[in-house]
Chains A and B, each alone.
Chain A
Amino acid sequence: MKTGFSVFLAAFVALGASWFGLVYCPLKQLGVATETKVLQSDAKWPLQRTGDATLGLQVYRSAGCAACHTEQVRQTGAANVLTITEIGSHQPADLKAFIASLASSVTELMNSSNAVAANLAGWNGELPKVLYSGDDDTVVSMLGDKLKAVGVKTEARVVATGADIARGWGTRQSVAADYLYDAPVQLGNLRAGPDLSTIGVRAPDLNWQLQHLYAPRSLVKNSTMPAFRFLFSVQKKAEGKDSADALVLPKEFAPTDGYEVVPTAEAKQLAAYLVSLKNNAPLYEAPFSPITAAK
Chain B
Amino acid sequence: MNPTENKTICSSEIDASCRVPLLALFGGAALWLVLGLALGLAAVMTFHKPDMFADCAFLTFGRAQTAANDLLLYGFAIPAALGVMLWIFARLSQAPLALPIVPVVAANLWHLGVFIGTATILSGGSTGHPWLEYPRAAAVLLFAAFMLIAVCAVATMGSRTNGELYPSHWFFFAALLWFAWSYGSANIFLQSHQQPRGVVQAVIDWWLTNNLLFVWLALAGIGIAFYFLPKIAGKPLASRGYALFGLLTLVFFGSWVGIPQSAPVPAWLPTVSAYAGLLSLVSIVAIAIVTKKTVCGACVKCSGGPFCFIKFGMLSFVVSSLLYISEFCPRYSRVLEFTWFNFGVTQWQLLGFAGMILCGAIYEILPRVMGKELPFAKLAKVNFFLFAGGTLLFVIPLLIGGVEQGKALNNSAIPFADASGVALKFLRISTTGQLLVLLGALCLLLNILVMTLQWKLGLVKTVVGVVKDSLAEGSAYQPLPCDKEAKP
Contacts and interface: CB of A to CB of B under 8 A. Distances in A.
B201 interface: yes
B61 A226 contact: yes
14 contacts: A7-B244, A7-B248, A10-B251, A11-B170, A12-B177, A22-B272, A31-B200, A184-B127, A187-B263, A187-B264, A192-B420, A220-B417, A223-B417, A226-B51
Nearest to A173: B264
Interface in A11-32: 11-12, 14-15, 17-19, 21-23, 26-27, 29-31
A248 interface: no
Contacts of A82: none
Contact of B52 (A62, A190, A194, A226): A226
B258 interface: yes
A84 interface: no
Contact of A180 (B197, B203, B258): B197
Which 4 A-B pairs rank lowest in CB-CB distance, beginning with the nearest? A64-B62, A166-B412, A18-B255, A184-B128
A31 B202 CA distance: 11
Which of A22, A33, A62, A166 has the most chain B CB atoms closer than 10 A to its own CB? A22
Interface string A185-215: 1111111111000000000000000000000
Contacts of A173: 262, 264
A189 B200 CA distance: 16
A185 to B, nearest CB: 5
A21 B275 CA distance: 14
Contacts of A217: 50
Contact of A230 (B56, B178, B182): B56
Contact of A226 (B46, B174, B199): B46
Interface stretch (B289-297, B339-347, B357-365): B339-347
Contact of A64 (B63, B197, B340, B411): B63
A30 B265 contact: yes
Contacts of B198: 30-31, 33, 176-177, 179-182, 185
A1 B203 contact: no
B481 to A, nearest CB: 42
A15 B173 CA distance: 13
A56 interface: no
A281 to B, nearest CB: 14
Interface in B38-54: 46-47, 50-54
A185 B54 contact: no
B61 A68 contact: yes
Contacts of B62: 63-68
B53 A14 contact: no
Interface band, chain B: 35 or more
A176 B264 contact: yes
Given A7-B247, A226-B53, A194 B201 contact: no
A72 interface: yes
A18 B256 contact: yes
B338 A22 contact: no
B50 A4 contact: no
A191 B203 CA distance: 20
A77 B177 CA distance: 42
B264 A22 contact: no
B50 A225 contact: yes
A27 B196 contact: yes
Interface of B: 46-47, 50-57, 60-63, 65-66, 124-130, 163-165, 169-170, 173-174, 177-178, 181-182, 185-186, 189-190, 195-204, 206-207, 211, 244, 247-248, 251-252, 255-256, 258-260, 262-266, 269, 272, 334, 337-340, 342-343, 409-412, 416-417, 420-421, 423-424
A263 interface: no
A179 B264 contact: yes
Given A4-B173, A14-B252, A228 B420 contact: no
Given A7-B170, A27-B196, A184 B201 contact: yes
Nearest to B66: A64
A174 interface: yes
Contact of B197 (A3, A22, A33): A33
A10 B266 contact: no
Contact of A21 (B173, B263, B272): B272
A66 B130 CA distance: 9
Contacts of A23: 185-186, 189, 203-204, 207
Contacts of A191: 338-339, 409, 420
Contacts of A228: 54, 60
A251 interface: no
A189 B337 contact: yes
Contacts of A33: 197-198
A294 interface: no
A8 B177 contact: yes
Nearest to B251: A14
B185 A19 contact: yes
Nearest to A34: B197
Contacts of A178: 264
A15 B211 CA distance: 9
Contact of B256 (A22, A183, A220, A222): A22
A183 B251 CA distance: 31
A74 interface: yes
A189 to B, nearest CB: 6
B338 A70 contact: yes
Given A11-B247, A14-B248, A167-B412, 7 more contacts: A10-B248, A15-B181, A30-B200, A64-B60, A184-B127, A184-B190, A224-B424
A204 B196 CA distance: 30
Contacts of A295: none
B83 to A, nearest CB: 22
B49 to A, nearest CB: 9
Contacts of B424: 224
Which of B62, B129, B170, B266 has the most chain A CB atoms closer than 10 A to its own CB? B62
Contact of A174 (B65, B195, B255, B264): B264
B200 A63 contact: no
Given A222-B421, A226-B46, A63 B124 contact: yes
Contacts of A14: 248, 251-252, 255
A17 to B, nearest CB: 7
